[in-house]
């Protein structure tokens, strides 16, 4: 086990070297994909320096050679790692596009499902429009407020507009949390072979980055929420994570906050992320976001026609795993399975998945596995964000175990303390030994002195006796 930190350290060092700031990959990133902190002149200089980097030609030659020797099917992970290594925005975009190829197909099938009727997308748009409502002041108040914000702080307005290009949006308030730990997994992962319908697990390299599992303790906060369809309802027949279900709820929350659809016609800023509770434990599902901090204690009441409610979200510990793209029913099922597997392979981390009471009607195995855990889906981006820049997370509620897990840092600290204690103990023992030796020496000297005195006295007595005897003679 002691070798694992060393292996991870070597891997991190090698990755850091591959992604040094002046590499041609990072310069290409800055030139074309970086959103913040670079001017047009800076982009042009980065592009020029990337083209002039001799390693560009070397890496491109290596990548082409890999494909020629192994074919694109087997060689594409190494091909991508050479040209778009992990840590670049280009790599993140590629991975998201790879996920979207499956997700968009699932979304298309969802929209074309017969349960939507012949209207299809039109029915979804109409459903969202019905929930898009302005406050009493109307749309002019919203436009006026927006113009005022732009005039007062043009840079902030520009950063907000640029959020459509970012994975994680800026200038938006979020719930606070404490990061309790991060847990990585090896580079290789087992994938299912899809050839000829054979189901066998083979060790296969993939260019996909395996994200870190994070353990977080979220602080309590107050939220504004809208209920979502529950299992058994007619709206749930097409699945939970559909455009119609999520779009309607999101529109109502947006109307309450940004458009002033509340009793006071108060315009408030959006927060991130959107939480979707997948709480099949008690059958209550909802979408909610954190209320802005200045409105948490006394938010304006909702209007009668709105389904908006307020909830006090308690402090909770959650294990989270990020994934890109959009949320479909099938994608969420895949991410739930990945999350549970990652928690299991993480080993003893001092926390375990919280288990709730099972519902009586959940008799199927896959329902049992999902119904006794409380999942959440976190969506960080506004609907207009580029699909391959969207950031999502799957999360599950955790609880403390009886096993105390000592972190590596604590072990090192304890070792240092132990060494210090041992050193102090050695010093004390040495001092005690020295004191004891000195004491013994003093005792010995004292005894020797006493013996000398006794001997001297005996000699003196003997001499005195001899003298007396001589005198008597």
The string of pLDDT tens digits covering residues 195-244 is 334 444 444 567 888 999 999 999 999 999 999 887 656 556 667 798 88
pLDDT score of 111: 82
Residue 11 in this model has a pLDDT that exceeds 90: no
Residue 261: which residues within 8 A CB-CB, separation 6 or more? 133, 134, 135, 255, 302, 303, 306
Name the pLDDT band for 394 (thresholds 50, 70, 90): very high
pLDDT score of 285: 86
As a three-state string, the secondary structure of 389-434 is HCEEEEEEEEEECCCCCCCHHHHHHHHHHHHHHHHHHHHHHHHHHH
For 98-205, strand residue ranges (E) read: 177-183, 189-192, 201-204
Q: Which of 126-140, 202-216, 268-282, 406-420 is most confident?
A: 268-282
- Reduced to 3 DSSP states, what percent helix, strand and coil does the chain have, rounded to the nearest 5? 50, 15, 30
Distance linking the first and last C-alpha atoms of the chain: 96
Specify the DSSP class assigned to residue 331.
Answer: H
| Among the four given CATH numbers 3.40.50.300, 3.30.830.10, 3.20.80.10, 1.10.1740.10, the one describing domain 88-405 | 3.20.80.10
CA distance 308 to 254: 11
Q: Name residue 278's beta-bridge partners.
A: 285, 375
pLDDT score of 372: 78
CA distance 413 to 202: 41
Q: Which of 76-80, 247-251, 321-325, 467-471 is most confident?
A: 321-325
Q: Name residue 191's beta-bridge partners.
A: 202
Q: Which of 35-39, 139-143, 377-381 is most confident?
A: 377-381
Exposed / middle / buried, residue 354 (Cβ in 10 Å: 0-12, 13-18, 19+): middle
Query: Tokens 């003093």 appear where?
Result: 442
Residue 389's alpha-carbon distances to 6, 169, 380, 382, in angstroms, are 33, 10, 10, 11
The string of pLDDT tens digits covering residues 321-356 is 999 999 999 999 999 999 999 999 998 899 999 987
pLDDT score of 467: 39
Rounded to an integer, the average pLDDT of 390-417 is 72
Q: Where are the domains of the chain?
A: 88-405, 414-466
pLDDT score of 331: 97
Mean pLDDT of the residues in the chain: 78
Name the pLDDT band for 274 (thresholds 50, 70, 90): very high
Exposed / middle / buried, residue 308 (Cβ in 10 Å: 0-12, 13-18, 19+): buried
Indicate the range of 27-36, 114-123, 260-269 predicted with least confidence.
114-123
Share of the chain above pLDDT 70, in %: 67
Indicate the range of 127-131, 177-181, 292-296, 321-325 predicted with least confidence.
127-131
CA distance 342 to 444: 71
CA dihedral of residues 422, 427, 433, 438 (deg, nearest 10): 180
- Taking alpha carbons only, the member of 315, 350, 153 closest to residue 219 is 315
pLDDT score of 405: 57
Residue 446 preceded by cis peptide, ω within 30: no
pLDDT score of 124: 67
Residue 85 in this model has a pLDDT that exceeds 60: yes
Of 116 and 68, the one with more pLDDT: 68
Q: Name residue 162's beta-bridge partners.
A: none
Q: Which of 136-140, 158-162, 323-327 is most confident?
A: 323-327
CA distance 462 to 466: 6
Q: Read off the tokens for 322.
A: 């990020």
């Amino acid at each position: 086990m002691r070798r694992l930190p060393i292996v991870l350290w070597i891997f991190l060092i090698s990755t850091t070297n591959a992604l040094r700031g002046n590499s041609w990959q990072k310069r290409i990133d800055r030139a074309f994909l970086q959103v913040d902190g670079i001017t047009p002149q800076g982009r042009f200089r980065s592009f020029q320096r990337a083209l002039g980097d001799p390693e560009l030609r070397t890496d491109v030659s290596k990548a082409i050679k890999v494909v020629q020797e192994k074919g694109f099917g087997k060689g594409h992970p190494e091909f991508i790692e050479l040209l778009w290594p992990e840590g670049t925005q280009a790599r993140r975009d590629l991975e998201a596009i790879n996920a979207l190829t499956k997700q968009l197909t699932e979304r298309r099938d969802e929209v074309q499902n017969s349960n939507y009727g012949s209207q299809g997308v039109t029915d979804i748009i109409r459903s969202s429009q019905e929930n898009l409502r302005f406050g009493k002041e109307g749309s002019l108040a919203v436009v006026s407020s927006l113009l005022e914000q732009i005039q007062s702080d043009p840079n902030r307005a520009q950063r907000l507009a640029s959020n459509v290009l970012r994975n994680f949006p800026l200038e938006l308030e979020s719930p606070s949390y404490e990061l309790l730990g991060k847990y990585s997994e090896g580079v290789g992962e087992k994938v299912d072979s899809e050839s000829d319908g054979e189901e066998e697990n083979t060790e296969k390299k993939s260019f996909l980055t395996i994200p870190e599992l994070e353990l977080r303790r979220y602080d309590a906060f107050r939220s504004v929420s809208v209920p979502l369809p529950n299992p058994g309802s007619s709206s749930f027949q097409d699945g939970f994570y559909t455009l119609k279900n999520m779009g309607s709820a999101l529109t109502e929350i947006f109307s309450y906050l940004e458009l002033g659809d509340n009793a006071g016609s108060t315009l408030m800023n959006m927060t991130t992320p959107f939480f979707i509770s997948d709480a099949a434990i008690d059958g209550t599902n909802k979408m909610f976001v954190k209320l802005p901090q200045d409105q948490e204690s006394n938010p304006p009441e909702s209007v009668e026609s709105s389904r908006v409610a307020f909830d006090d979200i308690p402090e909770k510990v959650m294990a989270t795993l990020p994934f890109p793209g959009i949320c479909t029913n099938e994608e969420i099922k895949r991410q739930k399975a990945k999350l549970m597997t990652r928690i299991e392979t993480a080993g003893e981390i001092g926390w375990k998945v919280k288990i709730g009471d099972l519902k009586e009607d959940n008799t199927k195995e896959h329902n049992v596995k999902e119904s006794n855990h409380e999942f959440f889906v976190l969506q960080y981006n506004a609907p207009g964000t580029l699909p391959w820049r969207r950031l999502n997370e799957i999360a599950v509620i955790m609880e403390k175990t009886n096993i105390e897990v000592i972190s590596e840092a604590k072990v090192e600290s304890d070792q240092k303390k132990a060494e210090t204690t041992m050193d102090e103990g050695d010093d004390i023992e040495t001092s005690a030994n020295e004191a004891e030796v000195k004491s013994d020496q003093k005792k010995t000297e004292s005894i020797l002195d006493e013996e000398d005195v006794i001997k001297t006295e005996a000699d003196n007595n003997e001499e005195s006796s001899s003298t007396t005897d001589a005198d008597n003679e």
